Amino acid sequence: MYYHCRPLKYVKYGKVFPPPKDKDILEWMLPAYRWLSNYCGYCPQVWLSRSHSSITGYRNKYSKDSVLFGFDIIKGFPLSYDHWELIMNSLMNEEVFEKQNKAIEKMLNSIYLDCKAEDEEIEGEIADWVKSDCNLDKFFKDYLFKEVDQVVVPSLNLKSAKKIICSNEKQKKKLRKMGFIEDRIEIKNLKNYEW
């Protein structure tokens, strides 16, 4: 299942785009989103997690009024969460695509050389960098742009969600009023809940 989380005030029964709520986050992350658009073709992106509701932000203490939507099938642009997390900072400090790629390459090489100098085991995403022969295009193709745990899409039709998780009866009532199907809406406190 693919999961998408968004504040209730940006939920509608139909097609949605990235919510404007994160204006500060969007401005901060915009260089990274623009970089990604060179590969996926759109910016900003709607983010979905594959099989992990935990990386959607739904359990985040700042997302108390958020709703979690679950979808069976999503055709999106694949992205590995761990690899994305690793390269994001390199992307946010540069605005120009070519300079961003150089920054990524410099950062990956720097971590790799530090590990070698410290005689540390090369593992995880840095091991993937080495396996890709320290070639950015190969690293992106073989490791970053793989459907491991997240995808991005330009828009999302919320009414096609197979599962809708909200945190209270008030949210459930608003969702029903919008047109969402009653038997797809569940109230769950996900603080200590794994699914």
pLDDT tens, residue by residue, 78-118:
999 999 999 998 998 888 999 999 999 999 999 999 999 99
Question: Within 10 Å of residue 119's Cβ, how many Cβ atoms?
Answer: 6
* Domain locations along the chain: 2-79+147-187, 96-144
Residue with tokens 């200590």: 192
> Taking the complete model, does pTM exceed 0.85, yes or no?
yes
Confidence (pLDDT) at 192:
44
pLDDT tens, residue by residue, 129-148:
999 999 999 999 999 999 89
